[in-house]
Chains A and B, each alone.
Chain A
Amino acid sequence: MTISDYLVTDDLTVLLGFIGVSVFLLQNLYKPQPLVHPILLGRQSDAGRVRNPGESAVYRNYGTGLMGRFPVRPDKDVNVVTDFVKPEFDAPRTLWSTKITNTQLKARVSAFGSGIAKLVPEDSIVLILLNDCIEFIITDLALSEQSIASITLSSPKLLARVLEMHPPNAIITDKTFLPHVLKATSDAHERNHALIVVDWSQPSEILIHSWNDIESQGKVPQAPKNAPQPGSAYTVSFFETPSGGVQCVQLSHENFTSGVTAIKALFPSTINISTLDTIVSSHSLSTPYGRAIAYAALFEGASFATLPSTGTFHDGDTPALDVADILSATKFPIPSPTVLFLKPEHVQSLTSSVIDRAKKSFLFPLAWRHKFASLTEGFVTKDSLWDRTVFGSAREDVLGKMADTVKAVVISGGLLPSDALVPARLALSIPLINTYTHGSATGPLFATHAFDLQMLPSSSPATEPAHVGAPSVNVEAKLISVKDNVVEQGADPIGEILVRGPSVGNMLSADGEAGEKNAWVHTGKTARVMTNGAFKVLGSM
């Protein structure tokens, strides 16, 4: 047979030809576009050109640049913490269980401030031992307005030590924790303080002021004697280090405005926080980061609530960090949550619940394959065909109404294992922002790009946690105790993280002496810098 006999074509050939061409086009041109161009993910931080021996170069966010100034406030008029409550914005929003407008909130803040200014002398110290509630925010804003120093603790174990070192003039607590406070103060032989208790109505033999009474006493507002300055410190936070030591950090108004700026910068413009959002946080207001999240919600006019696991001052065990904890946010009369600030344990528990539910569908293996394939191209969406058939109903079964409204999740307060990242991205199909926070800073120290979906296996044989991205927009970081000979060969620097910036507070020494301004703060954690400028926090020293 000749060649022409082999190349016999007929009508079927034409048909198959059309089908072949369309299949070819479908396969090659219908690749999903990545949510963020990969070239941006190859240069996430700007590295310094010089490094001191034993240290790495100084790294900053690529957007800020080495020569850029750190953004310090979210808006030009926000100088002190009370400016977060914008008076010109007047729609009501719900904070925990209270529906309140900004003007009402400002009125309550000045009322409480005047009330407490009558009770305690100037230059006094107030110890706040409250679980997260609207009274905490009002107290904090009022004390900052009156320039009365406040102290918060990240754990009740620190109470005895703080009472000894810094005897307060007033202690604010709630009914359930009051017995512990009374016991701790009598152990410390501490008598010269006023006790203010939230929800206190019954008479008692000890002089206890009710929080509501203080607020009503201040109905005739008394202007504070000195207007607060942005740079002046107004609160001190005590936190525990992983090794069990206690550290304390002094925070000023500028630290909090920078922290709110950094939190806002976590969200790109397509998913930024606005008045339509409801933020739910799993970080206690007694920590600087937790408070900055609350202030960010206040500033944007969003509704806000915290999870029960944030309660630090209570009896019994802390609730487990799992899906039930997340769902308990819906018990508050807030609109359905849209942005969740969770801990890695919450995310892992949520992912495994959603995937267990999704596995019940027979289409699950196919759906997983397709979503994984689009993830390798850098694209994920909540509205794909596979979500409508498999994952969407699984999410709804686990999260209820929240499944529809949640648009982003920020993970902080721990190290997320790298093998939990891909299942979490597929199960939730919304931007997951992995961050690293520290007890001394109001904003996140490191944060990933919201649309970063890269799957980078770890370069070392040990399994490392997921990377936390580049330094935040107003933080600069460097590593110390780095092996010079290894780094000169081109390997990744590994060392202890030091940070500096307007959102990092001023660490106080053991005696309560303030350090020099803008000093490098030791975080006590080791990290490695990858070639694309992202940091991987490896663990404690």
Chain B
Amino acid sequence: MAYTLDFSTPVNSALLIYILYSVQKIVFPSTSTPKTIPSEFKHGYSWMPKEHPPTVLFKTYTPKTLEPFNGKNGGRILLAINGIVFDVTAGRNFYGPDGMYGNFAGRDASRGMAKQSFDLDMLTAIDQPLDRLQDLRPDEIENMKGWIDHFSNKYIVCGKLVENDAA
């Protein structure tokens, strides 16, 4: 029985061309490197992420400059305890405008943290000097320090709070 070997049929030619092309790619692999570095690991082994991981610049805030960061326009939420400013944007549920502790957003929350109260009278007005916390009992100071530890572990320390005219 004779086999029909006809290279001129289109199907055979197409397959032959494909095979020759693939064999050429296997025996002579490409040595070109891509001109732009891929930004996903799926697109290439030599890849680099597009951006650096986000970092926050440590800034000095006054009560007036801290107040806008109360999350009301979907922005960052900051609050201060004992002169340390924390970025609590991750806790928008608690500290956002609709949250349980929303009173503290953009304000100095030291007295409220010490006395374990979220009332508005724990906050000092923005144009007044900072609350000296002199009339707090030792156990209230301890409570406030405990809250500072909790916040340091959970949120980012991103600044310090100074008097309005000190900045």
Instruction: Tell me if B10 and A23 are in contact (CB < 8 A).
Output: no
Stretch at the interface among A173-181, A182-190, A241-249, A372-380: A372-380
**Beta-carbon contact of B56 and A51 below 8 Å:** yes
Whether B10 lies near A7 (C-beta < 8 A) is yes
Residues of A within 8 A of B53 (CB): 47
Per the 8 Å Cβ criterion, residues 28-46 of A in contact with B are 34, 37-39, 41-43
Q: Does A362 contact B (CB under 8 A)?
A: no
Contact B52 A531 (CB under 8 A): yes
* Chain A contacts for B22, CB-based, 8 A: 20, 23-24, 26-27
* A299 CA / B4 CA spacing, docked (Å): 73
Segment from B30-38, B93-101, B111-119, B129-137 that makes contact with A: B30-38
Q: How far, in Å, is A389 (CB) from chain B's closest CB?
A: 14
Question: B57 touching A51 by the CB < 8 A rule?
Answer: yes
Q: Which residues of B contact A19 (CB under 8 A)?
A: 15, 19
Expressed in whole angstroms, the minimum distance between the Cβ of B45 and any Cβ of chain A is 4
In the complex, the answer to whether A455 meets B48 with C-beta atoms within 8 Å is no
Do residues A490 and B51 form an inter-chain contact, with CB atoms below 8 A? yes
Taking the complex as formed, is A50 at the interface, i.e. its CB lies under 8 A from any CB of chain B? yes
CB < 8 Å neighbour of A13 from B11, B46, B49? B11
Question: Do A16 and B16 contact each other (CB < 8 Å), given the known contacts A48-B55, A57-B55, A455-B33?
Answer: yes
- Interface presence of A370 (CB below 8 A): yes
* Interface-centre pick from B15, B30, B37 (highest chain A CB count, 10 A): B15
B150 at the interface (CB under 8 A from A): no
User: Complex Cα distance A376/B31, Å?
Assistant: 8
Residue contact A484 to B11, C-beta cutoff 8 Å: no
Bound: A473/B86 CA distance, A: 29
Number of A-B contacts (CB under 8 A): 131
Q: Given contacts A19-B19, A529-B52, A531-B49, is CB(A50)–CB(B5) below 8 Å?
A: no
Residue of B nearest to A36 (CB): B45
- In the complex, chain A residues whose CB is within 8 Å of the CB of B57: 50-53, 484, 488
CA distance A455 to B25 in the complex (A): 22
Q: A11 near B31 (CB under 8 angstroms)?
A: no
- What residues of B have a CB within 8 angstroms of the CB of A492 in the complex? 52
Minimum CB distance partner of B9 in chain A? A8
Query: CB distance B26 to A26 under 8 Å?
Result: yes
The answer to whether A366 has its CB under 8 Å from any CB of chain B is yes
> Are the C-beta atoms of A9 and B48 separated by less than 8 Å?
no
* CB-based contact B45/A377 at 8 Å: yes
A39 & B48 in contact (Cβ 8 Å cutoff): no
B5 touches A11 (CB 8 A): yes
**Contact, CB under 8 Å: B16 / A11:** no
- A454 lies within 8 A of chain B by Cβ: yes
A37 to B58, CA, bound (A): 35
On whether the beta carbons of B9 and A456 are closer than 8 Å, the reply is no
Among residues of B, the one whose C-beta sits closest to the C-beta of A48 is B55
Q: How far is the CA of A171 from the CA of B142 in the complex (A)?
A: 57
Rounded to whole angstroms, the CA-CA distance of A531 and B37 in the bound complex is: 12
Tell me the residues in window 372-394 of chain A with beta carbons closer than 8 Å to chain B beta carbons: 372-373, 376-378
Indicate with 1 or 0, residue by residue over B1-31, a CB within 8 angstroms of chain A CB atoms. Answer: 0011111011110011011001101111111
A532 touches B49 (CB 8 A): yes
Expressed in whole angstroms, the Cα–Cα distance for A314 and B6 within the complex equals 81
**Is A49's CB within 8 Å of the partner chain B?**
yes
- In Å, the complex CA distance between A6 and B23 comes to 26
B45 to chain A: closest residue by CB:
A378
Q: Is A27 a contact partner of B25 (Cβ separation < 8 A)?
A: yes
Are A50 and B157 in touch, CB under 8 angstroms? yes
Is B158 engaged at the interface, CB distance under 8 Å to the other chain?
yes
Cα A370 to Cα B25 in complex, Å, equals 11
A515 interfacial by beta-carbon distance below 8 Å:
no
A91 to B158, CA, bound (A): 56
Is there an interface contact between A373 and B31, defined as CB atoms closer than 8 Å? yes
> At the interface, yes or no: A417 with Cβ under 8 Å from chain B?
no
Min CB–CB distance A28 → chain B (angstroms): 10
Closest chain A CB from B8 CB (angstroms)? 10
A12 at the interface (CB under 8 A from B): yes
Q: Let me know if A38 and B47 touch, CB within 8 A.
A: yes
Least Cβ distance of A52 to chain B in Å? 5
A window 487-541: CB within 8 A of B: 488, 490, 492, 529-532
CB pair B3 A42 closer than 8 Å: no
Is A359 close to B, CB under 8 A? Answer: no
In the complex, besides A10-B6, A454-B47, 7 extra interface pairs with C-beta distance below 8 angstroms are: A7-B11, A11-B4, A13-B9, A16-B16, A369-B29, A454-B45, A490-B52
Give 3 closest A-B pairs by Cβ, nearest first.
A373-B29, A16-B15, A378-B45
Residues of B within 8 A of A (CB): 3-7, 9-12, 15-16, 18-19, 22-23, 25-31, 33, 37, 41, 44-59, 156-158
Q: What are 28 A-B interface contacts by the 8 Å CB criterion?
A: A10-B5, A13-B12, A20-B18, A23-B18, A23-B19, A23-B22, A23-B23, A37-B41, A38-B47, A41-B47, A42-B48, A49-B54, A49-B56, A50-B58, A50-B156, A50-B158, A52-B57, A52-B58, A53-B59, A366-B27, A376-B46, A377-B45, A456-B37, A457-B37, A488-B57, A490-B52, A532-B48, A532-B49
Q: Which residues of A contact B (CB under 8 A)?
A: 6-13, 16-17, 19-20, 23-24, 26-27, 34, 37-39, 41-43, 47-53, 56-57, 366, 369-370, 372-373, 376-378, 453-457, 484, 488, 490, 492, 529-532
